[in-house]
A and B are shown apart, each in its own frame.
Chain A
Amino acid sequence: MDRRNLLTVAAAAALGVSLAASAGIAPAAAQARKVLVVASNQDVPNLDPHVATGYSASAFMRNLYDSLVRVEGNPVKVVPHLAQSWTVSPDGMEYTFKLDPGAKFTDGSPVDANAVVYSFQRLLRLNKGNSWMVAGTLDQSSVSAADAQTVKIKLVKPFAAFLQVLPWLWVVNPKEVEANKGADDAQAWLAKNVAGSGAFKLKRYEPGTLYEFEKVAAPWKSGGGNLTGAIWRIIRETSNQRLALQRGEAHIAVDLTAEDMDQLKDKPGVVSIIEPEFRTFSMKMNTEYGPLADINLRKAISYAFNYKAMEESSSYQQLMVGPLPNGIFGHDPNLAVPRMDLDKAKEFLAKSKYPNGGVKLTFVHVSGLEQVRRFGLVLLDSLKKLNIDLDIKAMVWPDMVASTASPDKVADFFTVYQTGNYGDPDNIAFAAYHSSRNGNWQNPVYKSKVVDDLIMKGRAEPDEAKRKEIYLQFQKQVVEDAPDIFGVLEKRKLALRSDVSGLVFTPVASNAIEFFPLSLK
């Protein structure tokens, strides 16, 4: 072989392997089989309905299990599910649920009152997952079976939002759970297996890749769409979710960014849903330690902050008006909240211990959250006008959580997003402003006896009008205390193929897609 031959052989060897694959890839045949594909970046490593948390877990539970009631519509409504109807005692302390006699688990056994009692007891016993929603409200003897179709729930403490949390407390099949109980209350078994009554069952379980659902042969619920199955596909990059949607490889993408939504505008076959949801962003100030323990300095900053610049730093968000999400029950859209007013800011600064500024404050955010860093830059720019310096620090989430252990470790500005777990003001009010939550990332330091009392009164009041009045007072008081710079409500950004029908937006857990009502053309 001469040099030319050698060259040819080597080049052929190199090129031969470099791109052997050139056959066309047929798009997934999901459409014809009426299998819905949802692209999400969140894995669900644990399927136990009394342990798992996160929006993807909520999506799974919604489809694999059932709860006494469910939420739907916008504004959010609580509607019957396993319970056909219910009554509440006048003092709001006792609930009686009549179960749907047709409800059955996927193994054919009926969903009776005993199953409901068993499920609530297991949830409270494990004290994991969503059990916090009823912690202190229910105990082991609260839920009882009056007869096979009647469940009685006696609250230990009044809780006006009780019906709002019920959609997230799932009923398991006691027969199957008991058969696999083991030494850990069936936690290991339920982490990978399903014992529910949902319209779907799990067909394939491939952590990190996909989860395939198959519709049960005869769901006990009537109606519903034409899906025969669904696939929860893990696509980590949001831009890849967008591309998969454009190519028709996914029917719904649930984690898209503002940039993705911009790119999807006017794309054929794609429908965008951009709706306000109960997801708040606020900059919590350290009311207990450091310069911001001074209420006048906090107020000066609240008035110096450029809210307009914050709102304009990204599309698909709206400014919050006070501590509660806009649109939720009891929210006051006319609340007098601080807006940029430098004269007022300087007035408050003059009254503070730092009349000439000259302090350096720290602002922490989760590393990688570019949008929050931008908010930090807006704050940095605003504070310059008060001669206050700002140090913007990125931290990994566990370090931020660990820093909430005591006020001296919490940064001056602790930034946090909070998603409403249920559509009631109690959710955000209690988690973000009650002093029992101090030392926790949702409310690291702020405490006020007046606010605590209002939150507990709001929780206990069964009368709607009176309850609304309590939340109006609560909002005024929190604004007066200025513990936070009330930031923005992030709009939910969903995109779906135009051949998906039946999706009705609900501002609670809207990315936890429920498959049952959906259809594919």
Chain B
Amino acid sequence: MLRYTLRRIVLLIPVLVGLSLLVFTISHLLPGDPVKLAAGPQATQADIDSLARELGMDKPLPVQYWNYATGLVRGDWGQSVLTRRPVWDDLKVFLPATLELVFAALAFAVIVGIPAGLLSGVYANRWPDYLSRVVSLGAISMPRFFLGLILQLVFAMALGWLPLGGRFPIIDEPPPALTGFLTIDALAAGQFGAFWVALQHLAMPAIAMSLSPLATITRMMRASTIEVLQQDYVLTERALGLSQKLIVFKYVLKNAMTSSLTVIGLYVGWLLGGTVLVETVFDWPGIGLYATKAIVSQDFMPVMGVTLAIGTIFILSNLVVDLLYGLLNPKVRYE
């Protein structure tokens, strides 16, 4: 298993090289001129040329790519043309916020979706199943930003239970930064009040984000539960007189979860790449907004940085999922 993990991690390198090459090429083929834009409306051609020189963007494309790639090895992720800030500094700020949101959304989707799908399967074509199918169909059909707005109107404006947006009350000092996940940092610092407040801020955006994976997980779980329930070994277990509880939780649940696990792995990447609407509605200072702004202004370095960061996390999360298969199903062998 260790060798398998190491091999997968080594395989990450050619994937990332290919990814960076692809994004680099596409972003440089676009017709805009980010240096001219960054130099400002009053800049003369000499100013634009000097800025291009300063940013190394006057060199041929292969040289620019080589400089970028060797910079990455040294830990230099380049600099934004527009803000002149190092990309790594920005990623350190924005990535944890998005990861916290994505993991919270996934956790919610798993905690609600797995039991809901299991119920649906066990009670197939009866009212719990109908209810779960209607809810999941509704969930997958509703745009995330729209649900976000409705949640805001109900829970923030009408009831006043939850904050309108942001990660933490602006007037208070956030817990000392350790992981960048406010909930975890608050717990690590023993600030339970801050943890509760951070959780309240996280609730609405995470629920809005979780809808699509929640619905998919529920549907997948339902289908595989029905399939597993029809297996011979379940029939045997029933014939042996095992209780429903034992059959469902010990045998059906574990076997049915394998397919949901695959979906969860895929959703990590999907959610990471699609946070911008929820981040906009809830003022969540995450990577989606950062990337969108960079894409619109053709600021290459942040776009490259975000793509590589999301690519790496996506590949790693799928590796974790592959390793988890083994825990659920001892028949899986890593070779």
Contact = CB atoms under 8 A, between A and B. Distances in A.
Given A249-B164, A396-B296, A431-B42, 7 more contacts: A1-B244, A3-B123, A20-B203, A45-B83, A206-B285, A234-B285, A243-B157
B156 to A, nearest CB: 8
A206 B156 CA distance: 24
Nearest to A237: B280
A30 B171 contact: yes
A33 interface: yes
A3 B296 CA distance: 54
A51 B54 CA distance: 14
Given A7-B128, A209-B285, A21 B33 contact: no
B93 A207 contact: yes
A453 B153 CA distance: 58
Contacts of B122: 3, 6
A25 B162 contact: yes
A23 B200 contact: yes
B318 interface: no
Contacts of A17: 108, 111-112
A512 interface: no
A53 to B, nearest CB: 6
Contacts of A2: 244
Given A23-B196, A132-B43, A187-B84, A402 B36 contact: yes
B89 to A, nearest CB: 8
Interface in B1-49: 30-34, 36-37, 40-43, 45, 47
B93 A206 contact: yes
Contacts of A399: 30-32
B165 A235 contact: yes
Contacts of B297: 396-398
A465 B30 CA distance: 50
A19 B83 contact: no
Interface string A382-413: 00000000000000111101100100000000
Nearest to B45: A439
Contact of B169 (A28, A46, A53, A212): A28
A191 B85 contact: yes
Nearest to B203: A21
Given A45-B85, A243-B164, A127 B245 contact: no
Contacts of B322: none
Given A3-B123, A7-B123, A17-B111, A398 B85 contact: no
B85 A209 contact: no
B318 to A, nearest CB: 25
A237 B277 CA distance: 10
Contacts of B42: 132, 135, 431, 440
Most chain A CB atoms below 10 A, which of B32, B36, B41, B45 = B41
A487 to B, nearest CB: 18
B119 A7 contact: yes
B305 interface: no
Interface string B62-95: 0000000000000000001001110000100110
B85 A13 contact: no
A14 B40 contact: no
A243 B162 CA distance: 14
24 contacts: A1-B243, A3-B244, A17-B112, A22-B161, A23-B200, A28-B169, A37-B170, A45-B85, A127-B50, A132-B40, A207-B93, A209-B283, A210-B170, A212-B170, A240-B164, A240-B165, A240-B283, A249-B164, A396-B298, A398-B32, A398-B37, A398-B297, A402-B31, A402-B33
Interface string A223-253: 0000000010111110010011001010000
From A7, A21, A45, A135, name the one whose CB has the most chain B CB atoms within 10 angstroms.
A21
Contacts of B31: 399, 402
Contacts of B170: 28, 30, 37, 210, 212, 231, 233
A419 B160 CA distance: 39
A208 interface: yes
B167 to A, nearest CB: 7
Interface in B245-267: 245, 248
B164 A51 contact: no
Contacts of B83: 45-46
Contact of B41 (A6, A46, A441): A441
A14 B116 contact: yes
Contacts of A13: 111-112, 115
Contacts of B156: 243, 247
Contacts of B280: 236-237
Contacts of A210: 170
Contacts of A18: 108, 112, 207
A369 interface: no
A519 B202 CA distance: 33
Nearest to A236: B280
A14 B33 contact: no
Interface in B115-168: 115-116, 118-119, 122-123, 128, 152, 156-157, 160-167
Contacts of B160: 24-25
Contacts of B108: 17-18
A244 B33 contact: no
Contacts of A439: 45
A431 B41 CA distance: 8
A288 to B, nearest CB: 18
A306 B245 CA distance: 75
Nearest to A129: B40
B289 to A, nearest CB: 7
Nearest to A16: B111
A355 B33 CA distance: 38
Given A23-B161, A236-B283, A240-B283, A14 B167 contact: no
A217 interface: no
Interface in A174-210: 187, 191, 204, 206-210
B112 A237 contact: no
Nearest to A246: B157
A127 B243 contact: no
A218 interface: no
Of B50, B119, B248, which is in contact with the most chain A CB atoms at under 10 Å from its CB? B119
B223 interface: no
Given A21-B200, A30-B171, A35-B171, A247 B164 contact: yes
B55 to A, nearest CB: 13
Interface string A126-157: 01000010010000000000000000000000
B83 to A, nearest CB: 4
Contacts of B37: 397-398, 401
A507 B157 CA distance: 34
Contacts of A204: 173
B199 interface: yes
B290 interface: yes
Contact of B32 (A23, A247, A396): A396
